[in-house]
Amino acid sequence: MSLTNALPAEAASAAKNASHYLATLPASARNDALTTIHAALSASKDQILAANARDLTLAKQAAENGELSMSIVSRLDLGKKGKWEDMLKGILDVRDLEDPVGKVTLRTKLDDGLDLERVSCPIGVLLIIFEARPEVIANIASLAIKSGNAAILKGGKESTESFIAISKVMSSALEATDVPNTAIQLVTTRDTIPQLLGLDQYIDLVIPRGSNELVRYIKASTKIPVLGHADGLCAIYLEHTADPAMAAKILVDAKTTYPAACNSVETLLVEDAALELLLPPVAEALLEKGVSLRCDAVSRTALTAALPAHTAAILQDAEAGDYVTEFLALTLAVKTVSSVEEAIAHINTHSSHHTDAIVTSNAPMAEHFMAAVDSAGVFWNTSTRMADGMRFGFGTEVGISTNKIHARGPVGLEGLMIYKYKIRGGGHVSAEYGEGEGQRAFKHERVEL
């Protein structure tokens, strides 16, 4: 890893060159580099935490002056319980994942002695733009090295000292490995993001790690593909055959376990046939957890009739905007629909196509819902919070994508890979194949992998 003050175009060009070399390294060389980085960071804990403390001091001052939110200050702190250890463990976890490079995913005998292979390979150069969390460097550097990609990292200025300290340690560690130093570059020059986002001749994929605003800004500012999601506007449809206790449990989990997460539920769609018996216990469970319910007229009337007066008094009226708002807080918009078709149409029109769920005991209806809802995650009788790379068993999570191409939903290492086609021949040429005189047909025999 090099800490560069180079111009963005020079850094990106160097990263591209490094990516070509990195793509030819065997798994052992990439894994060894991760082992070496892990050891170097372990040995440098004190100096890195000292640098991090300097960032924290400045950030706390900025927060006192009202220039920075306390949540950013909190995310800066590498000394927080378990954070340093998690960062180090993450490097070895990524190292120990299956090698994603060089997997043959298609093999076809085109003709005798003419063999086609589709082989996974790194994408090339990743640009990672992140905000305050310093541990992202170690995480992203691990993912990049493991997957054979070069990476350019641009972090938020609040964690500059931490970044520089981590970067120096990783850089000198890489000197002893086969991974070139320029494969991972930390760009510290200011105001370089717009320039980096214009370098589509060198950079193949942008991965933003931070707030919705950051992701939205980046998506609007570049032609380079962006892996990520700006919004997580998830809905749950409550159908009248749902089990009431299960419904309450799922809604409480989806809304309250981490309200600021992108996979938390923001809209509850209730079938009208579920208003009288099913919605009240669900609403009570949510209200008990401190959730504000913003109800349409029909659901508010039903709840007012069913709930004790002092409970019903805290219900709120929904406005149209509430159904397209990612509250990221203990607030839930409630809307009554007449059928699963209306629920599907509402979700396909209003949701952010991240994760949406149905709670029902009607299996064919659940299958129809999952086929028709156009979202990365479509769940039946479970919480939207399950949408997560670690929960899916991917071993890591590069991000969650709402893109419709390449990678969708929680993205593991596979999302950092593309493929190439290799043909090994013996002088075969295209003019030999066809239906004309002296020509022959391809064999096109699929070979088992």
How far is residue 107's CA from residue 422's CA, in Å, rounded to a whole number? 10
User: How big is the site for a second copy, counted in residues (CB under 8 A)?
Assistant: 75
How far is residue 382's CA from residue 427's CA, in Å, rounded to a whole number? 56
* b/e sequence 297-323, b meaning 16+ C-beta within 10 Å: eebbebbeebbeeebbeebeebeeebb
Pick the piece of the chain touching a second copy (CB under 8 A) from 158-166, 281-289, 299-307, 413-421.
413-421
Pick the piece of the chain touching a second copy (CB under 8 A) from 42-50, 190-198, 245-253, 312-320.
245-253
Interface with a second copy includes 397 (CB under 8 A)?
no
Interface with a second copy includes 290 (CB under 8 A)?
no
* Interacting residues with a second copy between 117 and 136 (CB under 8 A): 123-124
Give 70's contacts (C-beta < 8 A, 6+ positions apart): 63
Q: How far is the CB of 103 from a second copy (least distance, A)?
A: 13
Interface with a second copy includes 188 (CB under 8 A)?
no
Strands 445-446 and 104-111: antiparallel
Interface with a second copy includes 23 (CB under 8 A)?
yes
- Kindly tell me which residue out of 114, 140, 179, 278 binds a second copy, with binding defined by CB under 8 A: 114
Binding mask 190-229 for a second copy (x = CB under 8 A): --------------xx-------------xx--x-x----
Nearer residue to a second copy within complex by CB, 178 or 374? 374
How far is residue 137's CA from residue 151's CA, in Å, rounded to a whole number? 10
Interface with a second copy includes 6 (CB under 8 A)?
no
For 416, list phi and psi in degrees, rounded to 5. Answer: -95, 10
- Kindly tell me which residue out of 260, 418, 439, 447 binds a second copy, with binding defined by CB under 8 A: 418
- Kindly tell me which residue out of 35, 108, 292, 316 binds a second copy, with binding defined by CB under 8 A: 108
Binding mask 343-382 for a second copy (x = CB under 8 A): -x---x-----------------x-x-xxx-xxxxxxxxx
Give 363's contacts (C-beta < 8 A, 6+ positions apart): none
- Kindly tell me which residue out of 391, 439, 440, 447 binds a second copy, with binding defined by CB under 8 A: 391
Q: 231 to each of 43, 162, 304, 326, 402, how far by Cα in Å? A: 39, 29, 32, 7, 9
Measured between its terminal Cα atoms, the distance across the chain in Å is 36
